[in-house]
Each structure stands twice: as C-alpha cells, then as structure tokens.
Amino acid sequence: MPDPESVTGASRREARAYHIRLNFQEFWNQPLQEAEAFLKKWYFWATHSRLEPIKEAAYTIKCHWDGILRWFMSKINNGILEGINSLIQAAKAKARGYRTTKNLITMIYLIGGKLEFRLPT
C-alpha cells in the first residue's frame, strides 16, 4: 500500500471525483420525500468541488432537474426506447444494399418482432 505522504494531488482529485460519483448513485435509492433535498446537497457539493468534469456533470443535471425528479414518481426511463433504437440500427446495417425503404421497414419488423421461422416437422 502506498505511503499516504506520497499520494499525488492528481490521485486525491481522482479519489474525490470517485467519491462524488458514488454519492450521486445513492440518489436513486432515496425516498421521494428526501430526493430533492439530497439532490440539492449533492449539486452544491459537486459545483464547489473545483473538479471541472464533476462541475460540468452537475450543470447538466441542473438542466434536467425536473425530469430527474419526475423519475421518482413514474419510474420510467428511456432504456426501452434505446433498445428499440438499437434494433432499428441493426436492421439498417442488415439492409445495406437493399433498393427500397420498404425493405428496410420489413427488416425492422422482422428483427423487432422476434419471429421464429421453423420448418414443419
């Protein structure tokens, strides 16, 4: 284990940034009543951390403040949409060289529908 006296300033900054990041992950475990207060405290801590990447992340969170807090009521995120988008991108990659948009749409349905084509036995 390194001697604490030999730890560089960069290592301390990295440790602080990691600690702030871990603390933000605890935000998602907060009850609805405490979520906004927790986020305000975290935001203050992050914006006063003197760590530019952390401050930028905090400012981004501030821009999406209402949507982030709304998650506590709906529990809806865009993970499903991202998954669908991934399927469509895969269909586009498979459809390279096809002549019409109709063929691309057909590939999207085939991939997204998860259809199984089996020969009768």
Reported as a single tens digit per residue, the pLDDT across 67-87 is 999 988 888 878 888 888 888
pTM: 0.62
Q: Over the chain, what is the mean pLDDT?
A: 85
pLDDT in tens, 44-64: 999 999 999 999 999 999 999
Question: Quick one: pLDDT at residue 80?
Answer: 82
Q: What string of DSSP letters covers the chain?
A: ---GGG--HHHHHHHHHHHHHHHHHGGGGS-HHHHHHHHHHHHHHHHTS--HHHHHHHHHHHHTHHHHHHHHHH---SHHHHHHHHHHHHHHHHTTT-S-HHHHHHHHHHHHHT-------
Q: Which residue has the higher pLDDT, 102 or 112?
A: 102
Ranges of each domain in the chain: 4-74, 79-113
Query: Model confidence at 65, in pLDDT bands (50, 70, 90)?
Result: very high
**Res. 1: pLDDT tops 50:** no
